[in-house]
Structure 1
């Protein structure tokens, strides 16, 4: 995937929908109760787009 995925952890509510939909791109910090983008993550564009759509607080963006 050639696009940059960003997740605003300040806005993240820890629902884990992105992690469930796209575990090769998103991880979850149990201590902070926040999702994050995995270092060097690469995944299917459709998977990331589905995660963007599913996020209830719209804190994921793709450039």
Structure 2
């Protein structure tokens, strides 16, 4: 009697298409997070200069004390 053949999973190496897809996905996610940070900084800067132009805040220190 012969023993039944059992299929074993063989490592075939990295899948090039999967690696490209993962790289693009991670790159887009990192780029989006970077861009969100820049948008937030731009918004904060715009708010600061709007308040400065409106006269609600000042960058001059009072010397009354």
Bin for the TM-score computed over the shorter chain: under 0.3
Structure scoring higher RCO (CA < 8 A, sep ≥ 6) equals: 1
What TM-score results when the alignment is normalised by the length of structure 1?
0.23
Structure in which a larger fraction of residues adopt helix:
2
What TM-score results when the alignment is normalised by the length of structure 2?
0.23
Structure in which a larger fraction of residues adopt strand:
1
Largest Rg, 1 or 2:
2
